[in-house]
Structure formats: C-alpha cells, structure tokens
Amino acid sequence: MVRELLTGNMAAAWGVRLANVDYVPAFPITPQTEIIETLSQWFAEGAMRGKFVTMDSEHSMVTAAGAASATGTRVFTATSSQGLLYALEVLYTVAGWRVPLVMVNVSRALSSPITLEPDHNDILSARDCGFLQIHAETCQEVLDSILMAYKIAEDHRVLLPILINMDGYYLSFTREPVEIPSKEKVEEFLAPYKPRHAFFRASNPMAQGVAVLGGSIYSYFKYQMHMASLNALEVHEEVAKEFDHLFGRKYGAIEQYRMDDAEYVLVMSNAFATKGKAAVDRFRKTGYKTGLLRPRLVRPFPAKEIINALKERKGVAVFDQNISVGSGGVFYTEIAAALCAETKRPVILSFIGGLGGKDISVVEFQKILEDTVSAADSGITPGIQLLYTEAEWKQMSHLLEIAGKSPE
C-alpha cells in the first residue's frame, strides 16, 4: 500500500491496473482522456498485460467492450458526456447481453451550449439502460469503486455492467491523497472472472444477444435484468463489507454525514457533496441540526435505505446537479417518489445547482437552509429553484450585452 497524490483520472487508471483488466477499447474525450492515456502507456510498458485498442468512436468502443466481455474476459472502458450519449444505443444493447464490464464516466455537462465542466445530465441519461451506477465523491472512492464494481458485476446474482461516475475537473483533474492498495491484497479481494453464462470456446458454441419477436419474450428478459439489478443491493452490501474488512474503508449504498440527530437533511451526490458536508458543519455551528445524505449507489436505487434515513426528519432539501428540462431535478423526483407512501414524511424541497460546473457559494447553501427551515415550519414548499447569485446575474447580463443582446 502506498499513499500518493492522485487525480481522479489517475485513481481510475490504478483501479483498472489492480483489477487485472484484459482488454481496454478506448476513445479520447475531455475530461476523461488522462485515464486512457495512462492505461495505454502501462500496456505499452508491459506494466499491464492484455490488449489496448483505440476505436473510431464511443459507439464502436462500447460495442467492442461488450463483445469482448461476452467472450469471458475482464473489460474496462471510459468516456464522458457527448461520448456517453453517442454510445447510449449500445449501452442498452450490451446491458441486455448481461456482460459484467466496468466503465467510468467522467461527468461533463451536455451540449448545447457546448461546455467542459461537469453536471450529471450525461450519466443520468444512462439511468434506465441496465448498467448499475456508482457515483463517487472522492478520488479514493473512484479507485475503490472500480475494484468493488468488478466483484459486484461478475457476481452470478447480478451479471450486469457497471458505470462509475466521477465529476470532470472537480475529481478528474483534482489531486488528493489516495491509498493505492497492494497487488496481493487486491488479488485476495478480487478473484479472476470465471464466466458461466457468456464466453467464447470453440468446443462449446453458443449464440448470444439473440433477437426476439413477441412482447412476452421481451418482457421476460427485460424484467430479469431489473431483478438482477435489485439483487445488486444485497451484493453491494456484502462486497462493501469484505472491502472494509480488507482495506479499512467502508462504503454504503448511501452515505450519511452527521445524520444521527439531524432535523434537516441536504441530499447531494458526487464531488460537490464535499462542499455540502462543509455547509452542514457551518449550519451546525449556527445551531441548526443538519445532516447530509449522499446517494452513492444510484442504480439499483436504494429506496428502502433512503426512506429509512429521511422519513423521520423535518425537512429534506434535494440538490440536483442536473435538470430534466420541463420537469426538474432527477434525484428530487426519485426521492419524493420513494417517500410518498410514508404517512409521516418531511417537506421535500428541490434545488437545481452547479449546472455546467457552476460553483455553489456560501450564500446559496444558506438559502437552501433558510428555505428548508421555513418550509418545515409552514408546511408550504416553494417550487423548483435554480441556485444563482446576484453577482453571476450581473456578469451574465454583461456578457449578453457584449453579444449584442440587450433587453428592451
């Protein structure tokens, strides 16, 4: 074990190296490129044994990843943003093949307007495709989640691919201390993949990914995927327990920060949850009993754990770093749906923030607290709100002026 300063991208590459991955099809895109550059170098130097192949697009890349995984090898690939969307068609396809590949998405807001910094519309657009999803807050969690992901994906109760999400820039290019576990310990944790259902052997021919006609056949296969995904709740818990035992780091389907006596809860995912924790510390200094809940396992959705963590609170503020245009925040909708059957439930508020990587200032966190406390007192919740500051509005107006667009 060594402790080093690593970016999220480097942490991802180390996870892949330690997992003894056999095959990496790759295509570059900012802010993910550093992962595949690093892996390409390691394959070239012989530090990793296997095959690294550059592809002509993300669509081909995920097809190759799925096909290779269907031969029974351990496969990794990574992309971001527009690349993930370009591959979306085949994400559904390979998930249906029930192949346990692991893929990293480095979040970047979607065009248009085209930009580079993160929000979660890219990863959440792949919410329904059958890939499990783990959303990481720290660089350490990126590395650890890759190791855990292979063990979960390759478990026979699951056999579905996994997407691990990290924020572009705020994790991908951010260095922080990361423990790189020893090869021996990882081998103790993660056994080689032994496929039983999908593999390539000349003596044992099979047709995979067959077409079906007729809804009853299709429904059967689709619902099998859903049940396998739900099985991952239990498998994740087992794997996390073993991981904690071996490496001393504990991961839940959700993370709870200062939640014991919390009356008001902030729900935040991914890297900005770190800023949310600092906000909780500040709120507590001013006398408000607050806590933070971070959904880590996003697919399968850990509804039961979320209900148990939130149902007895006074107020819940869901911070969505995404926007379903014409509806609102994706996490808000799912958390509100999970809590709606509870007779005793908190007021639930919805905030959209950090779109395109926009920073969240102290005053915006303060607004979340004040609105949540007042909604809990009055029972009246405001509608969806975009977090924005007066200074940002001033700057935006100035830019519009430069662009030759002045309001009448």
Partner 1 sequence: MDAKKYPPGTGVFGMIRIRFHGRGGHGIKTASRIVGTAAFSEGYHVQDFPLYGAERRGAPITAYTRIADETILERGIIADPDVVIIADDSLIEDPMANPLGGIGPSTLIVINTNKPGIQERFAITARIHSIDATGLSLGIIGKAGAVSAALGGAACRILGFIPRDAMERAVIKELQSIGIPAQLIDKNVEVAVRCFESLPAYEITNRETAPSISAKTFTIPYQEPTISSPSVYASGNITGRQTGRWRIFKPVIHYDKCNKCWLCFVWCPEGVISLDDSEYPHIDYDHCKGCLICYEECPTKVITIEREVTAW
| 271 is a contact residue toward partner 1 (CB under 8 A) | yes
Quick one: which of 300, 265, 61, 284 has its CA closest to 158? 300
Burial of 7 (C-beta count, 10 Å sphere; 0-12/13-18/19+):
buried
Which is nearer to partner 1, 44 or 400 (by Cβ)?
Answer: 400
Residue 220 region by backbone torsions, left for phi larger than 0, else alpha for psi between -120 and 50, else beta? alpha
Q: Tell me the C-alpha distance between 65 and 163, whole Å.
A: 13
Least gap, CB of 71 to partner 1 (angstroms)? 36
Residue located via tokens 């006398």: 287
Of 157-165, 173-181, 227-235, 322-330, the window that binds partner 1 (rule: CB under 8 A) is 173-181
* Interface of this chain with partner 1, residues 112 to 171, rule: CB under 8 A: 112-113, 116, 169-170
For residue 211, state whether it binds partner 1 (rule: CB under 8 A). no
| H-only helix segments in 46-116 | 58-69, 81-86, 88-96
Edge to edge, the sheet with strand 102-107 lists 76-79, 102-107, 162-167, 132-135, 297-299
Number of residues that bind partner 1 (CB under 8 A): 44
- DSSP, collapsed to helix, strand or coil, labels residue 162 as strand
Binding mask 376-405 for partner 1 (x = CB under 8 A): ---------xxxxxxxxx--x---x-xxxx
Element (H, E) at 142: helix 139-153
Q: Distance from CA of residue 230 to its chain's centroid?
A: 17
Nearer to partner 1, 292 or 297 (CB): 292
Nearer to partner 1, 10 or 18 (CB): 10
Residue 239, phi then psi, degrees to nearest 5: -65, -40
**174 interacts with partner 1 by CB under 8 A:** yes
For the segment 342-361, give every residue that binds partner 1 (CB under 8 A): 357, 359, 361
- What are the two backbone dihedrals, phi and then psi, of residue 66, each rounded to the nearest 5 degrees? -65, -45
Nearby residues of 247 by Cβ (< 8 Å), 6 or more positions away: 144, 179, 181, 185, 189
Q: Which is nearer to partner 1, 73 or 80 (CB)?
A: 80
Is position 277 an interface residue for partner 1 (rule: CB under 8 A)?
A: yes
The reply on whether position 212 binds partner 1 by CB under 8 A is: no
Q: Which stretch binds partner 1 (CB under 8 A): 42-50, 95-103, 269-277, 338-346?
A: 269-277
One of 187, 327, 363, 377 touching partner 1 (CB under 8 A): 363
Closer to partner 1 at the Cβ: 337 or 386? Answer: 386
Contacts of 393 (CB under 8 A, 6+ apart): none
Is residue 31 reached through a cis peptide bond, with omega within 30 degrees of 0 on the bond before it? yes
Complex with partner 1: residue 33 or 93, whichever CB lies closer: 33
Of positions 44, 47, 206, 278, contacts partner 1 by CB under 8 A? 278
Q: Which stretch binds partner 1 (CB under 8 A): 71-79, 172-180, 208-216, 246-254?
A: 172-180
On whether the CB atoms of residues 133 and 165 are closer than 8 A, the answer is: yes
191 counts as binding partner 1 under rule CB under 8 A = no
Q: Which residue, 17 or 299, is less far from partner 1 as judged by CB?
A: 17
Yes or no: say if 264 and 315 are a contact pair by the CB < 8 Å rule. yes
Instruction: Work out which of 44, 157, 177, 220 binds partner 1, going by CB under 8 A.
Output: 177
| 210 binding partner 1? (CB under 8 A) | no
By the criterion CB under 8 A, which residues form the site for partner 1?
Answer: 5, 112-113, 116, 169-170, 173-177, 271-272, 274-275, 277-278, 281-282, 357, 359, 361-364, 366-367, 385-393, 396, 400, 402-407
